[in-house]
Structure 1
Amino acid sequence: MDNIQNFFERLVRENIKILSDNLVGIYLHGSAAMGCFNPQKSDIDIITVVKDELTDDVKINFMDMVIDFNNEAPAKGLEISIVKEAVCNPFIYPTPFELHFSNMHLDWYMKNPTDYVKKMKGTDKDLAAHFKIIYHRGRTLYGKEIKDVFCDISEEYYKDSILNDIINAIEEILDNPVYIILNLCRVLAYVQEKFILSKEEGAEWGILNLPGKYRNLIRAALDEYKNNINMHVNKELALEYAKYMLSCIYKCC
C-alpha cells in the first residue's frame, strides 16, 4: 500500500459515519503499530471500541464498509474486532466481542451476511494479547487515549492467551512456517524476559539467544517475512525447533 496513513484516515471517517456517538475509539496493533509492516506478508490489525451493543443493521453496514476496505488492503487483509468499552477496563477474560472479521471469514459473510452478523459474537482469548500490545505499543487512530480505555493485562491472562496461540505449533509449523517460527521466538522472549515484541523483533531476539543450529532457520523465516524471499523449509529441523521451543516455553511457565 502506497499511502497507509490515507487508508487509516478514510477508515476512521467511515467508522464515525456508521457508529456515530457509540464509537469510543479505534486502535491499531500488530506489525503496522510496531514498525515492521510488510504489505506482502502483514495484515492490518484493528480493535474498535464502542459503548453499547450494535444492532444487526449497524453490523451489516459496518461489515459492508470493512469489505470495501479489505479489498484495498494487503493480501492478508484486515483483522478487526469490535468490543465494548466495559470489557476493556476492568478487563474480562476470555474477552467478549461484538463483531469480528478476518479474511478467513470472508466467504461466510459474502454468502450469508445476516447469518454472519447474528453468529459472529462470542469470546476470544486472542484479545488479551491484542490488548496487551495496544497498551504497551499500540496507536490510537481515533478517540480516547489508549490508557483511558485499556488497562495493562495481567501476566496470567497474557500468558494464557499467547500459549493458546502456540498450542498446535508442531502440527502447524510445516503449513505455516514463517508465522510459527517467528511467533515461537517472541513467546519465548516474553516468558523468559518479559519482552513484548513484534515477530521481527522476536526473530532478532531468537537469533541472538537460541542455539546456533536454529539460527539459519530463523533467519530464513525472517527474510521471507521482511524481504519476501521464499524460504526453503528443512522439515526435520523445523519440527525439532517447534518441539524445542515448546519445551522451553512450558518450562518457563
Structure 2
Amino acid sequence: MFYQKVIDEFTSISKEIVGENLTGIYLHGSMAMNCFNPEKSDIDLLIVIENDITDVQKMAFMNQVVMMNEQAPAKGLEISIVKRKYCKPFVFPTPFELHFSPMHLPWFRDNPEDYVKNMRGVDKDLAAHFTIINRYGIVLYGESIENVFGEVMKKVYVESIWFDIENAREDITNQPMYITLNLCRAVAFLKEGLCLSKQLGGEWGIAHLPERYHPLILQALNCYKTKQTMQADLELADQFAYEMLTTIRFEKEQIES
C-alpha cells in the first residue's frame, strides 16, 4: 500500500496518545477504494473514541500529525476524531472532537492552543465519510466497522453530497478536475444508488451522461490518474455544472418529499 509507513506510524501514535479510550482507527477515501494517486489524493483517516480526550492529548496528537503530514502525499492527511456515541446510531450533522487537514495548518502553527481548544463542532461531510467506511473502509486498529458504525440514511447522505457540491458552478473554475468527478459520482448515486470513487464516478459519467460532456470528463479522469493539471474549457465546465446541479437538485427534492 502507498505510504504504509505513514499509516503504520499514525496508528501507533494514535494508540499511544489515546490509550484505552480508543475504539478504533479506520482508513477511508481513495486509498480504501483502490484509486489512490499520490499526486492527487490525500490519506483519509477517522479515529473513534469512547469518551472525551483532553486538550493535552489533542496537542500531543496534533504535534505528531503535523510532522507526519510532511511525509504524506501532496494533498496531505485528512483526519477526524469522533465519539462512538455519534457513530451508531448515526447522528447528523455529526459532532467531532478534533479535525485536521492541510488547509488548517496556518491556524495551528500561528496559535496551537486556540486550535486545540476550538477545532471542534459538527461536520456534514462526515455522513459521506461514514458511508464510504461502511462500504469500503479498512480497520487499521480496533473494533469492526459493523460494531462501530450505523447506517447513514439516504436522505442524510444526499444532504451531505449537496453540501459538498452546491457551489459547483463557482468552484469548477478553480477545481475543474475535483468538481467534475464529484458531480459525476453524485449523479451516479442519485440515479442508481451507486457509491463510487471519483475515478469510478468519472467512468460512470462517460457511460451515462450526455456525450457533449465526455471531453470534459475524460480530461478530468486523465488528470486524476496522472500528474497533469486540468485546464478546462470554462464555458463547457459551467454548462456541465449547471446541468448536473439541476439534476441533483431535482433528485434531492424527490427523496426529501
Pick the TM interval, shorter chain.
over 0.9
Residue aligning to 1:187: 186
Query: Aligned to 2:203, what secondary structure does the other structure show?
Result: helix
Structure 1 residue aligned with 2:250:
251
The answer for the alignment partner of 1:69 in structure 2 is 68
CA distance in 2, matches of 1:246, 1:14: 42
- Tell me the equivalent position of 1:19: 18
CA distance in 2, matches of 1:207, 1:228: 21
Structure-to-structure mapping, 1:123-202, within 5 angstroms: 123-202=122-201
Alignment of 1:1-253 (within 5 A): 3-253=2-252
**RMSD (CA atoms):** 1.0
Deviation at 1:3, TM superposition (A): 4.7
Contact kept in structure 1, 2:47 and 2:81, CA below 8 Å: yes
Alignment CA distance shift 1:189-1:63 (3 Å): same
CA distance in 1, matches of 2:229, 2:121: 37
The percent of aligned pairs where both chains have the same amino acid is 50
Partners of 1:241 and 1:217 lie apart in 2 by 9
1:141, distance to aligned residue in structure 2 (A) = 0.8
Gaps of 5+ in 2: 253-257
TM-score (norm 2): 0.96
> TM-score when scaled to structure 1?
0.98
CA-to-aligned-CA distance 1:18-37 (integer Å, 9 cap, x gap): 11101110111110100010
Distance in 1 of aligned mates of 2:10 and 2:46: 12
Query: Residue in 1 aligned with 2:255?
Result: none
Aligned residue for 2:74, secondary structure, equals coil
**Residue 169 of structure 1 aligns to which amino acid in structure 2?**
A
- Between 30-39 and 243-252, report the one with greater CA deviation: 243-252
Amino acid in the other structure paired with 2:232: V
Distance in 1, matches of 2:230 and 2:131, equals 30
Instruction: Specify the SS of the correspondent of 1:26.
Output: strand
Please state how far the C-alpha of 1:251 moved relative to its aligned partner: 1.7
Tell me how far apart the structure 2 counterparts of residues 111 and 157 of structure 1 sit (CA, whole Å): 35
* Gaps in structure 1 of 5+ consecutive residues: none
How far apart are 1:232 and its partner, in Å? 2.6
Deviations 1:108-137 (A, max 9, x none): 001111000111010000000000000011
**Compared with structure 1, are the counterparts of its residues 251 and 3 closer, same or farther at alpha carbon in structure 2 (3 Å cutoff)?**
closer
How many residues align? The count is 252
How many Å separate the matches in 2 of 1:230 and 1:179? 11
The answer to whether the Cα contact below 8 Å between 2:25 and 2:142 also exists between their aligned partners in 1 is yes
Contact 2:3 2:72 in 1 (8 A): no
Tell me which stretches of 4 or more aligned residues in structure 1 moved more than 3 Å.
none
8 A contact 2:130–2:152 mirrored in 1:
yes
Distance 2:242 2:199 in 1: 21
Superposition deviation, residue 228 in structure 1: 2.0
